[in-house]
Amino acid sequence: MMRVLIATSNAGKLRDFAGAALPHAVEIAGIPDFSSLPAVVEDGLTFEANARKKAEAYSKYAPGEIVVADDSGLEIDALNGAPGVHSARYAAEKPEQADANTDDEANNARVLHELNNVPPGRRTGRFVCVLAAARDGKTLATFRGTAEGVILDAPRGTNGFGYDPLFYFPQINKTFAELTAEEKSKYSHRGAAFREFLKWCDEAD
């Protein structure tokens, strides 16, 4: 069984990756003592830049291992693509808070406030995920996945994390927060990117 280390302390992301890996002979694990490692500043202008930066930096702490890092977020058309790369810290009000993640409820509240007068037909958006796989400080490949949906005017569902309760996926008439980990891996941006990664793993063999 192939082992892949995921550069995150986010339990929700680890669940998503593990759910996507279930049908494959891939073991998902976190980087040992990840919380004690120096944080990587996510100052890239794109999801890919941030994913590569994190994967390269964290892979140096796990010699010889394939380390996967992702950067993902929500792009809302009516907000000109915001929150985008700032998705995890969208509720930060002061410049000095700009590098610190803000909590999910606060981020969701800001999105709802900014979409307050936007009609349902214009509340389109997408989740984007870019994964970078690195070994010993060098990026091996990157993978992109997207999921198109609509931003609701109130949260629905108790699963998931981040903007999942607001992200309605018309294809299955549910928000991402109403899905199990296995269902989410089938439809989500992260699941799509991870499937591309798994395909790459198969070809690398």
User: Residue 16 catalytic?
Assistant: no
Which candidate in 71, 77, 136, 202 is catalytic? Answer: 71
User: DSSP per residue over the chain, as a string?
Assistant: -EEEEE----HHHHHHHHHHHTTTTEEEEEPTTGGGSPPPP---SSHHHHHHHHHHHHHTTSTTS-EEEEEEEEEEGGGTT-BGGGGGGTT--SGGGTTS---HHHHHHHHHHHTTT--GGG-EEEEEEEEEEEETTEEEEEEEEEEEEEE-SS---SSS-TTGGGEEETTTTEEGGGS-HHHHHHHSHHHHHHHHHHHHHHHH-
Which residues form the catalytic set? Answer: 71
